[in-house]
Amino acid sequence: MIPKQDLSQLQSLVSSERFSTGESELNLHARDESYHDEHRPDVVIYPASAQEISKILAFANMKKIPVTAWGAGTSMEGNPIPLHGGIVLDFSKMNQILEIRNKDLQIVVQPGVIHTELNQRLAKYGLFFPPDPGAPATIGGMVANNAAGIQAVKYGATKHYVLKLQVVLASGEIINVGTNAMRTSSGYDLVHLFVGSEGTLGIFTEITLKLVGIPREVSAALASFSTLEQASETVVQLLQAGLSPAALELMDTESIHALNAFKEVKLAEQPTLMLEFRGNGAEVKEDVELARELCESNGCTGFTVGLGKEQRDKLWEARHHLLYAAAALNPGKRIIVTDVAVPISKFPELVTFAKAKLTELEVPGAIVGHAGDGNFHVGNFYDPTKPEEKSRAQAVNDAIVKRALEMGGTATGKHGVGIGKTKFMPAEHGASLDLMKQIKRLIDPNGIMNPGKKLGS
């Protein structure tokens, strides 16, 4: 609990309309989209500049008050939940596009910009920012968690697009890391130290991103299979054949059923791959035909290509809303979303393992994956009023994560560590975890920056 005199001092640092201790504001910032328990902050502050944040952090550091950054609250791992109370910095007021350098394929934004709105602005320049997590996430949140998404197989994750960062450290010092050059070998790579740090090392106030030109040709395809094993094995073969789809998504029968029920897309209720190819016309046509041959050689029961823009957009919109579609079929239940990634050759084995574990522990759930880079999710539903159901759902999640680590994979492919994955960090990182903790103590000696996340306590 922040003492009243300290709250008064904090309130003096910003205008009154951007400072709140109201019940509704505190409750809104107590939880995200994840299953983790609520933790209310003591105060919510809506900063307007790096200078304000500098003053807030300097005071918080002196008083050892926890500080947690808040973007859109769409995290699936409790990343922005203020685990130890204190201050939440809500970046919805810092949502400006500061500069578009279209000739350099760059843009400078504040952290509160929503990625979908960013791409709407960029479209008139023939440019876009490729990482697409599906949810209406902020750029600051995406950088903090190194978000990826449906196009990661071709375009990579957020870290591949961050050129420069303005960061406020726990001490209140404002630093700039990175360069406007597309490539550098100068100094230590501090940009990528901060990218994915989940607010545990500093607060981003300006972000310079690299952009990509919108491709001339886009073609989407759907491939249905009799079994999940056939579909997942096909993923490996598509990539081994040298294909580079912009998107390669795997959905099991339960996922397709949820989309049909919630979004009325009328797909065959079978394990399905959604593919998208981008480039010039001839290249795209060749890739689609090779994909068709490979899918059909693996028992594909239906391959639909040449989807019109309206149908394609509807399908991707449905895919983005899959979590809500599955939740609609499990009313009153909460969800634990597993997020793992493994070497692509291990992908079919882990998908099969996940399906078997859901069946074994009698947990309702659906499997969906950004299959092209070995990343997939399992939605494990449980009744929050029944502890044994939550225990089984958690057991499914833990078993899949442990198996992924045994396969040389990672506990989190895109959602970040947050609260739920900290227990897996020693197994994944070994002795290097100690070095990470030393870096954390060096930059944040009083441990005020999003405590309890990323590395644990």
Give every CB contact of residue 360 below 8 A, 6+ residues apart in sequence. Answer: none
DSSP assignment string, 322-336: HHHHHHHTSTT-EEE
CB 314 within 8 A of CB 266: no
pLDDT tens-digit series, residues 187-204: 999 999 999 999 999 999
Q: What share of the chain is helix, strand, coil (3-state, %, to 5)?
A: 40, 20, 35
N- to C-terminal Cα distance for the chain? Answer: 19
Top pLDDT among 308 and 12 is at: 12
Average per-residue pLDDT for the chain: 94
CB 365 within 8 A of CB 254: yes
Q: What is the mean pLDDT of residues 266-292?
A: 90
Q: Above 70 in pLDDT, residue 57?
A: yes
| DSSP β-bridge partners for residue 125 | none
Q: How far is CA 234 from the centre of its chain?
A: 25
Q: What confidence score (pLDDT) does residue 323 get?
A: 86
Positive or negative CA dihedral for 178, 183, 185, 189?
positive
Q: In terms of Cα–Cα distance, which of 152, 173, 139, 146 is closest to 53? A: 173
Q: What confidence score (pLDDT) does residue 324 get?
A: 86
CA Rg, the chain, in Å?
22
139-143, 191-195, 243-247, 420-424: range with lowest mean pLDDT: 243-247
DSSP assignment string, 22-50: -HHHHHHTS--SSSSPP---SEEE---SH
Q: What is the mean pLDDT of residues 291-308?
A: 89
Q: What confidence score (pLDDT) does residue 308 get?
A: 62
The CA distance from 142 to 416, in Å, is 10
The CA distance from 351 to 347, in Å, is 6
Q: What confidence score (pLDDT) does residue 285 get?
A: 87
Domains by residue range for the chain, with CATH? 4-92 (3.30.43.10), 94-213 (3.30.465.10), 217-323 (3.30.70.2190), 330-424 (3.30.70.2740)
Indicate the pTM of the whole model.
0.93
Q: What confidence score (pLDDT) does residue 319 get?
A: 86
pLDDT tens-digit series, residues 306-327: 766 677 788 888 888 888 899 8
The CA distance from 238 to 196, in Å, is 29
Give every CB contact of residue 302 below 8 A, 6+ residues apart in sequence. Answer: 222, 223, 224, 268, 270
